[in-house]
Amino acid sequence: MRLINNNHIPQNYEQMEDRELVHLFRKKDDQQAFRELMNRHQAKVYSYIFSMIQNREIANDIFQETFTKVITKMDDTYNEQGKWIAWVMRIAHNATIDHIRKQKRFVDVTSSYDEESKTDFYERLPDEDSIGQHEKLELDESTSSLLKHIGNLPEEQRTVVMLRHYYEMPFKEIAELTNVSINTALGRMRYALINLRKMFDEEHEKEQSNL
């Protein structure tokens, strides 16, 4: 989806790289450049936030908070040497994690490698009802089902999955963003895939039994 007023974005803006647009917005207060940046990245940023929060209103608030920070901090803290979107994602990630920690909505579900608890992953999964109810979004069934499963993943696994799949962020960058080693980031991805496989299998079994 492009922004409603995007019909007056000159074509050359669409051909520009992020850093050029950022430069135009920062130095010349070029609103069209910012509009183009929003067009390019807003859906991915919003998807990340929404998939982490699973609540439309809160996702809207965090999305707005993220871009308000982006607008006000771009002159002070953004270094044009780095990728702009990685910087934006860091803000979005921090805002999302802050919210999750404040609300303590999510029960910490560590994956099966946790030997201390000696419990299976599914034994530690909270009831679906206790997890934030999915908003009734106009999403197709497969996306909705995927998001539901992703929402059941522990926060740190969900973060890696979303950053990798929405942003195709290399694991090295994910590790930097989440302040962990690359091995930990890879491990989280591995457990996320194992957990998702179990969830899909279970869903498939349910469907089979209903038939």
184: contact with another protein by CB under 8 A: yes
Sole window of 78-86, 97-105, 124-132, 137-145 interacting with another protein (rule: CB under 8 A): 137-145
**Does position 130 bind another protein by CB under 8 A?**
no
Tokens of 155: 């926060």
Cα gap 135→70, rounded to integer Å? 26
Q: Looking only at residues 53 through 72 of this chain, which bind another protein when binding is defined by CB under 8 A?
A: 59-60, 63-64, 67-68, 71-72
Window contacting another protein (CB under 8 A); options: 14-22, 99-107, 157-165, 202-210: 157-165
Map residue 141 onto helix, strand or coil: helix
Q: Does 207 bind another protein (CB under 8 A)?
A: no
| Structural contact between residues 147 and 139, judged by C-beta atoms closer than 8 angstroms | yes
Q: Does 79 bind another protein (CB under 8 A)?
A: no
DSSP for 20-58, written as a single string: HHHHHHHHH--HHHHHHHHHHHHHHHHHHHHHHH--HHH
Stretch of 15-23, 80-88, 119-127, 181-189 lying at the interface with another protein (CB under 8 A): 181-189
Q: For residues 56, 58, 63 and 69, what is the CA-based torsion angle, rounded to 10 degrees? A: 170
In this complex, which beta carbon is closest to another protein, that of residue 65 or of residue 97?
A: 65
Tell me the two tokens of residue 165: 């799949």
| Residue 54, Cβ density class (10 Å: 0-12 exposed, 13-18 middle, ≥19 buried) | buried
Range list of H helices, the chain? 11-15, 18-28, 31-53, 56-73, 84-103, 121-124, 141-151, 155-167, 171-177, 182-210
**Residue among 109, 110, 99 at smallest CA distance from 53:** 99
Which of 52, 53, 91, 147 binds another protein (CB under 8 A)? It is 147
Which residue lies nearer to another protein by CB, 107 or 137?
A: 137
Is residue 180 at the binding interface for another protein, with CB under 8 A as the rule?
no
Q: How far is the CB of 107 from another protein (least distance, A)?
A: 22
CB of 82 to another protein, least distance (A): 19
Residues that bind another protein (CB under 8 A): 1, 3-5, 25-26, 29, 31, 34-35, 38, 42-44, 46-47, 50-51, 59-60, 63-64, 67-68, 71-72, 74-76, 113, 137, 139-140, 142-143, 146-147, 161, 164-166, 170-171, 183-184, 186-187, 189-190, 193, 196-197, 200
